[in-house]
């Protein structure tokens, strides 16, 4: 009868595909756990350079890692981006656009992530396009985000705000005065009906998904969404007091 010690050690006996799958699961949880796993065995270290892992890795503690300037972190992020990881493409895009003011580069990263269906990227990319006078294209991406989230934008706003809190936002985009005061393209037949609906306060606290209600037209809804995002960049809050 085989004794327990006769069995080969488990990790060494795993096929490479399975090792990669295990590491991808670890990486999807956190970058720091992946670093620990790589140190654990030679097999993990060898399997850890597979593109599939970078494609699925998550930098959930990105905010903390962001400013410690660890070269290993940046090299890891670069590999994730080269492997088309939607989450890191979004994070890189946010940094490029809002912190380093490299708008073209930031938009390129955000677009790549949005095209892969990453909801926060669709949201921010849509908003930036909207403020850059490409309203139709912007609304198209905002609607993709909304549809992906089952019309629940509150969670997306919360996550975007959380990331923005850790960025040093130097590029504070805004809607031009004409846009925010004219309620561009209001489709409501009742004058000022939409304005009344969207002027309630306390959005941050309540995080209402159906904030706009059925009486706010699409045009006013997106105008308000963009306007509140721009406000959040400045004040840290979606609420406009
Ligand atoms: Zn309206």
**pLDDT (tens digit, 0 to 9) for every residue of the chain, 241 residues total?**
445 556 665 677 778 888 888 888 888 887 888 888 888 888 888 888 889 989 988 877 777 777 777 888 888 899 999 999 999 999 999 999 999 999 999 999 999 999 999 999 999 999 999 999 899 999 999 999 999 988 788 889 999 999 999 898 999 999 876 555 454 678 777 766 776 665 554 555 555 555 676 778 888 889 989 999 999 999 988 887 6
**Which residue, 171, 95, 174, 158, is CA-closest to 123?**
158
Residues less than 5 Å from ion ligand 1, measured at CB? 186, 188, 194, 217, 220
Give residue limits of the domains in the chain.
85-173+191-198+212-241
**Which residue, 148, 102, 150, 88, is CA-closest to 122?**
148
Query: What is the CA(220)–ligand 1 centre distance, in A?
Result: 4
Compute CA distances 201 → 128, 198, 205, 211, whole Å. Answer: 24, 8, 9, 10
Q: What's the CATH number for 85-173+191-198+212-241?
A: 1.25.40
pTM metric for this prediction: 0.85
Query: What is the CA(180)–ligand 1 centre distance, in A?
Result: 12
Query: What is the CA(228)–ligand 1 centre distance, in A?
Result: 16
Query: What is the CA(58)–ligand 1 centre distance, in A?
Result: 39
Q: Is 9 exposed, middle or buried (0-12, 13-18, 19+ CB in 10 A)?
A: exposed
Largest CA distance in the chain: 86
């Amino acid at each position: 009868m085989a004794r327990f010690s006769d069995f080969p050690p488990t990790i060494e006996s795993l096929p490479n595909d399975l090792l990669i799958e295990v590491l991808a699961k670890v990486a999807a949880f956190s970058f720091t756990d992946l670093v620990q796993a790589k140190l654990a065995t030679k097999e993990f270290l060898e399997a850890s350079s597979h593109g599939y892992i970078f494609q699925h890795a998550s930098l959930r503690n990105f905010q903390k890692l962001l400013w410690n300037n660890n070269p290993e972190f940046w090299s890891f992020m670069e590999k994730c981006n080269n492997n088309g990881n939607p989450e890191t493409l979004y994070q890189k895009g946010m940094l490029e656009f809002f912190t380093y003011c490299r708008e073209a580069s930031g938009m390129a990263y955000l677009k790549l992530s949005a095209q892969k269906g990453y909801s926060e990227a669709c949201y921010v990319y849509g908003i930036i396009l909207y403020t850059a006078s490409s309203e139709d294209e912007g609304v198209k991406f905002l609607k993709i985000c909304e549809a992906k989230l089952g019309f629940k934008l509150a969670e997306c706003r919360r996550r975007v705000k959380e990331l923005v809190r850790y960025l040093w936002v130097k590029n504070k985009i805004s809607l031009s005065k004409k846009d925010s005061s004219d309620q561009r393209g209001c489709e409501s037949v009742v004058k000022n009906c939409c304005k009344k609906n969207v002027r309630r306060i306390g959005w941050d606290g309540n995080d209402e998904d159906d904030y706009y209600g059925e009486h706010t037209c699409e045009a006013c809804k997106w105008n308000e969404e963009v306007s509140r995002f721009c406000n959040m960049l400045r004040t840290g809050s979606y609420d406009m007091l």
